[in-house]
Amino acid sequence: MSQRDHKEVKGQVWMPVLFSLVLIVGMVLGFNLRDSLRNKISIAERNDRLGDIIQLIKERYVDTVNTNRMYEDAVAGILEPLDPHTVYIPATDLQDVNEELEGGFSGIGVEFSIIKDTVEVTAVTTRGPAAKAGMESGDQLIKVDDSVVAGVGITSGRITKLLRGKRGTSAKVVLRKVANGQIKIAAVVRDIVPISSLDAFVMVNDSTGYIKVNKFSANTYTEFADALQKLKDEGAKHLILDLRDNPGGYLDAATAMADDFLKGEKTVVSTRGRNTATSEFKSTDGGLMEEGKLVVLVNESAASASEVVAGAIQDWDRGVIIGRRTYGKGLVQEQYDISNGAALRLTTARYYTPSGRSIQRSFAGGRDEYADDLENRLKEGELTGKEARPNDTTKFYTANHRIVYGGGGIQPDVYVPYDTSRLSDPMYDIAFSDEMRIAIREFYVHHRNQMQFTSVRDYIRFFKSEKDVVTQYLSLLSGSKQSTARRQIAQPMRQKYVELQVKAQLARYLFRDNGYYSVRLDDDNVVAKALQVLSGSQYDKYLTTTNAVNSNTAMAGQKAAKFANGKTGKR
């Protein structure tokens, strides 16, 4: 599995690129698929006009043509007038796409970085194939089967293909051990390796837990429930649920998660389409966290199933939504197999939050304009200080009669702009340079036996050697490069940023992504705002209004009006 360090945003220069990637990922992952991929519906092969034309070209055209490419281009043209989330998935991409949502793949179970043309293992899946073969964080790969992977300009894509393979097959890996530098040959039998939906779960103080969910896959709810129970066992009475940058996934995973926070039988979401029956998903009694304060973190890249959860929590006044306006995807897709091994994900319905609002933003301007929306938000200042105006001024009402709006995403109860003050291109280049990675690895190699922390929380509290790593990093530089780095790091705020990133990257060796993301919370302005809201009297104020209807009976009456006959609940 490839490295994930470069998820960090590299200043405003990279924001448009990030948003373009988010749209692409959203198209692939951000679907409220109503059925598991194991229950797909097939489209029978048929001799239609498109097939006839392509076959005629293949047989009679003057030059050789790529008919597969022609078919895909033709399909793209057919889909162009439809919504941006109806997509054709070529057969060559379908397995990777499905694995993300199914929550696993066949491989050896490692994460890696490429440093100075050397593949280094940064994390090993607990009880996975690599762990059983004796591989450890910090090991360096020299050869995989017959392919040399060190000093040959290896890429992440290439090493991933070498390590993955059919379940039960063996990969012969030649590696340099982190413990003693000796060369070892390990025979690793590939098996199903889970793709975690959780980046982190940790106690941020004595009474508050934090969970970051990166997608809604087949395994998400089980992982979430296990993490939440562990945090409760550690004393968590309140929770920060981080859905930032989560593009969505399975609708049933989202409704199950929302159910854990909602008391009694409450509508979580409803779906309606021209040719599909209206469906309504309700919560049940006995959720894992029906009491206690709840904050949900969102941003412009939180989409689809993430918006289902945030919308239900907001409409029922169960928690405070903090961050920035969400992506605005309120469409439901179903997947259909095509005879050539490809698939079509077709939008079949819209979903509506409990108050009756649709949060899908307009795609009337076409796919290009739709794709540019996030970049436009940046240009207009919405992400950096100017709170969004409602795209649709139609008023909807929460359980406590607070006014909310649809048409363009979930607007948070507490707006927090993107924090650009701590990031710059030079600081990013320092924190994630090859020299810094080497310094971090060397520190880990020489101190791994002394870093026996029992938990991420203990590591965050007691590890204080970041400055030693930075000193080692500077020693690897020479001349003007070292002088420039020293000047950059000399500024207190920048020094804090670099040391925090060092501590986070080192935590990945010890606790995988849970360690990495948990450490970064210390410098997260949105998390800081969440803790402020949870600790004071503001929390209850955000969930009430002076004319609030604090009556379950009143809300029940509203629900009947909104959903009984498929109405939108507009007021």
Summarised one tens digit per residue, pLDDT across range 123-138 is 898 889 999 999 998 8
Q: Minimum mean pLDDT among 165-174, 242-251, 382-391, 539-548: which range?
A: 539-548
For the record, the structure tokens of 474 come out as: 């500077």
Q: What's the pLDDT at 557?
A: 36
| Average pLDDT over every residue of 31-44 | 52
Name which of 86, 98, 100 is nearest 39 in CA terms: 98
Q: Which of 149-158, 492-501, 560-569 has the lowest mean pLDDT?
A: 560-569
**pLDDT at residue number 550:** 37
Helix extents (H) in 294-433:
305-315, 367-371, 373-379, 425-431
pLDDT for 20 equals: 52
What are the residue ranges spanned by the domains of the chain? 8-84+196-417, 104-194, 425-527
Active site residue 478: no
Cα–Cα dist 130/145, whole Å: 15
User: What pLDDT, on a 0 to 100 scale, did the predictor assign at position 244?
Assistant: 97
The C-alpha angle 551, 557, 562, rounded to 5 degrees, equals 125
The answer to whether residue 329 is catalytic is yes
Residue 421's pLDDT is what? 67
> What is the pLDDT, as a whole number, of residue 522?
87
Q: What pLDDT sits at residue 424?
A: 66
Give the integer Cα–Cα distance in Å for 238 and 123.
Answer: 30
Q: Got the DSSP string for 304-328?
A: THHHHHHHHHHHTT-SEEEES----
Residue 558 has pLDDT above 50, yes or no: no
N-to-C CA span, the chain: 49
User: Please, which pLDDT band fits residue 563 given cuts at 50, 70 and 90?
Assistant: very low
pLDDT of residue 393: 82
8-84+196-417: CATH, from 3.30.565.10, 3.90.226.10, 3.30.60.50, 1.10.10.10: 3.90.226.10
What's the pLDDT band for 113 if we cut at 50, 70, 90? confident
CA atoms within 13 A on the CB side of 444: 26
pLDDT at 565: 32
Percent pLDDT > 90 in the chain is: 58
Instruction: Please state the rounded mean pLDDT for residues 531-546.
Output: 88
Read off the amino acid at residue 34.
Answer: R
Q: What are phi and psi of 319, to 5 degrees?
A: -160, 175
Please write the tens of the pLDDT for every residue from 477-489. Answer: 998 999 999 998 9
- Angle at CA of residue 139, ends 188 and 137, nearest 5°: 90
- Give yes or no for residue 188 having a pLDDT over 70: yes
**pLDDT for position 567:** 32
Burial, 251: exposed, middle or buried (Cβ in 10 Å; 0-12, 13-18, 19+)? buried
Residue 85 Cα distances to 28, 30, 96, 274, 513, angstroms: 8, 9, 18, 17, 30
Digit-coded pLDDT (tens) for 198-241: 999 999 999 999 999 999 999 999 999 999 999 999 999 999 99
Helix axes 466-475, 492-520, angle to 10 degrees: 120
Residue 50 is predicted with a pLDDT of: 82
Catalytic residue among 242, 245, 315, 513: 315
Average pLDDT score over the chain: 86
CB 101 within 8 A of CB 94: no
Q: Mean pLDDT over residues 96-101, rounded? A: 80
| Amino acid at residue number 176 | R
Rounded Cα distance between 470 and 487, Å, is 13
pLDDT digits (tens, 9 = 90+) for 414-456: 999 988 766 567 888 899 899 999 999 999 989 988 898 999 9
The 10s digit of each residue's pLDDT in 3-31 is 444 444 444 444 544 555 545 455 444 55
Say whether 63 sits in a helix, a strand or coil: coil
Let me know: does 111 contact 2? Beta carbons within 8 Å: yes
pLDDT band for 324, please (50, 70, 90 cuts): very high
Secondary structure letter of residue 249 according to DSSP:
B
Tell me the β-bridge partners of 187: 172
Average the pLDDT over each of 37-51, 210-224, 503-517, 521-535 and give the range with the smallest value. 37-51
Q: Domain spanning 104-194 has what CATH number?
A: 2.30.42.10
The pLDDT of residue 185: 94
Q: Which of 215, 329, 559, 562 is catalytic?
A: 329
Catalytic-role residue among 301, 304, 306, 518:
304
- Give the mean model confidence (pLDDT) for residues 62-75: 89
Residue 546 pLDDT exceeds 60: no
